[in-house]
Chains A and B, each alone.
Chain A
Amino acid sequence: MSGNPPPIKISLQSLSDTKIQEIAYDGRETFIQPLSMSESLTDLANRIDFLAENEDEETQTDDATSTSVDEAQYQAKQWPWENIRTQIQRSVIEMNVLTDVLSIAQNKPTNVPKETAESSDSNRYMMYDFASKEAEPSKQSLQMITKKRCLGAASKILLSGADRLNKAKSESSFQNTYHSELLKLRQRWRVRRVGEKILGELSFRTAGSDYWHMGSFEVIKKSDEDSDTLDDYEQNLTKLTPNVPKSPIKVVVSSDLRGFSSLSVQIMDLSKDEAIKSCTLSLSDIENSAMSSANDPLWHRVLCNAQNVLFCRELFARLSKEAVQQKTLGTASPIVVIGDTITTNIFPKIQLRVQLLFSKTHPTKRNPRQASIFSIQNALMHLLLRYFSKRLHISPPHPTTAALGLTTQMRHAAVHHNSLNQLAATAKKTTLSFVDVLITMSKHYEVRQRVCDTIKVLSNEFSDPDVLAHWSLASSKTESSARLTIANSGFESCYRSAVQVIVKPDCIKILQRDARSLTLSVDPTDLHNYFVSLVASHQLMTVQVLSRTLGWTMLHVSPHSSLGLTPDIKNRGSVLISSNNGAVSVAIACNEMIGGPIQYTTHVQYTKAHDRSQLEGTMYDDPDFSLESEKYLPLGGVWMKVNWPQLHGRHFIQKMETLLTSLVY
Chain B
Amino acid sequence: MGVTYICQWKQPEGQNIQQSIEQISSCVEKLGAKKAGLFQVECESFNAPNAPNAKTLHLIYDSEFPASRFALFEEGSFLVTDVMLSAFLSKLRAVWQPKKGGKIDCKGQRYELGDFLIKLGVVSVGASAKGISVELEYAPCVYARDCWGMMSEMLQSIIGEQAPPSLPSNLQPKGTERFSPELTMQQYVEMFNNIRKTVVAR
Q: How far is the CA of A538 from the CA of B1 in the complex (A)?
A: 45
Please indicate the chain B residues that have their CB under 8 angstroms from the CB of A413 in the complex: 67-68
CB interface residues, B 51-93, toward A, < 8 Å: 63-70, 80-83
B181 at the interface (CB under 8 A from A): yes
Do B181 and A417 touch across chains, with their CB atoms under 8 A apart?
yes
- Of all chain B residues, the one with the shortest Cβ separation from A419 is B1
> Which one of B63, B68, B180 contacts A415 once the chains associate, using CB atoms below 8 Å?
B68
Binary CB contact string for chain A from 398 to 413 against chain B (1 if under 8 A, 0 otherwise): 0000000000000001
Closest 7 CB pairs of A and B: A414-B82, A414-B67, A417-B181, A414-B68, A419-B1, A417-B68, A413-B67
Instruction: Check if A418 is an interface residue, CB within 8 A of chain B.
Output: yes
30 A-B contact pairs sorted by A residue (CB < 8 Å) = A413-B67, A413-B68, A414-B67, A414-B68, A414-B80, A414-B81, A414-B82, A414-B83, A415-B68, A415-B80, A415-B82, A416-B80, A417-B1, A417-B65, A417-B68, A417-B70, A417-B80, A417-B181, A418-B65, A418-B67, A418-B68, A419-B1, A419-B64, A419-B65, A420-B63, A420-B64, A420-B66, A422-B1, A423-B66, A423-B67
Closest to A414 in B: B82
Distance between Cα atoms of A420 and B40 in the complex (Å)? 13
| Interchain nearest-CB distance for A396 vs B (Å) | 18
CB distance from B39 to the nearest CB of A (A): 9
Q: Write the nearest CB–CB distance from B112 to chain A, whole angstroms.
A: 11
Give the most central of A413, A414, A417, A419: most B CB within 10 Å: A417
A417 to B185, CA, bound (A): 12
| Bound CA span A414–B62, Å | 12
Q: Which residue of the partner chain, among B65, B69, B70, B180, contacts A420 with CB atoms under 8 Å? A: B65
Q: Is the interface of B mostly helix, strand, loop or mixed?
A: loop
A-B pairs with CB below 8 Å: how many? Answer: 35
- Give the distance in Å from the alpha carbon of A420 to the alpha carbon of B180 in the complex: 15
Chain A contact residues (Cβ within 8 angstroms of B): what range? 10 to 19
Residues of A within 8 A of B68 (CB): 413-415, 417-418
Residues in chain A near residue B81, CB distance under 8 A:
414-415
Q: Which B residues are CB-close (under 8 A) to A417?
A: 1, 65, 68, 70, 80, 180-181
Distance between A490 CB and nearest chain B CB, rounded to angstroms? 48
Docked complex: A157-198 residues within 8 A CB-CB of B: none
Question: How many Å from the CB of B108 to the closest CB on chain A?
Answer: 16
Output the nearest chain B residue to A415 by Cβ-Cβ distance.
B80
Q: In the complex, what residues of B have CB within 8 A of residue A414's CB?
A: 67-69, 80-83
With both chains docked as a complex, state the minimum distance between the C-beta of B189 and any C-beta of chain A, in angstroms.
16
Distance, CA A418 to CA B63, complexed state (A): 11
Chain A residues in 8 Å Cβ range of B66: 420, 423
Residues of A within 8 A of B67 (CB): 413-414, 418, 423
Known pairs A417-B68, A418-B65, A419-B65; list 10 more (Cβ under 8 Å).
A414-B68, A414-B69, A417-B65, A417-B70, A417-B180, A417-B181, A419-B181, A420-B63, A420-B65, A422-B1
Which residue from chain A places its CB closest to the CB of B69 in the assembled complex? A414
Interface centre among B1, B63, B65, B66 (most CB of A within 10 A): B65
Chain B residues closer than 8 Å to A418, beta-carbon distance: 65, 67-68
A423 cross-chain contacts in B, Cβ below 8 A: 66-67
CA distance A246 to B63 in the complex (A): 71
- By a CB distance below 8 angstroms, the chain A residues around B181 are 417, 419
- For residue B70, which residues in chain A have a CB less than 8 angstroms away from its CB? 417
Task: Select from chain A the residue with minimum beta-carbon distance to B70.
Answer: A417
Give Cα A415–Cα B84 distance, bound, in whole angstroms. Answer: 11
Residues of A within 8 A of B69 (CB): 414
Least CB separation from B139: chain A residue: A421
Closest to B181 in A: A417
B82 neighbours in A (Cβ, 8 Å) = 414-415
* Least distance between A279 CB and chain B CB atoms (Å): 42
CB of B155, distance to nearest CB on chain A (Å):
21
Query: Least Cβ distance of A619 to chain B in Å?
Result: 57
Smallest beta-carbon distance B89→chain A, Å:
16
A406 smallest CB distance to B (angstroms): 11
- 8 Å CB contacts to B: which residues of A412-447? 413-420, 422-423
B2: min CB distance to chain A, Å:
10
In the complex the two chains form, what is the Cα distance from A413 to B68 in whole Å?
A: 8
User: Residue of B at shortest CB range from A411?
Assistant: B82
- B residues less than 8 Å from A419 (CB atoms): 1, 64-65, 181
Kindly provide the distance from the CB of A452 to the nearest chain B CB, expressed in whole angstroms.
Answer: 36
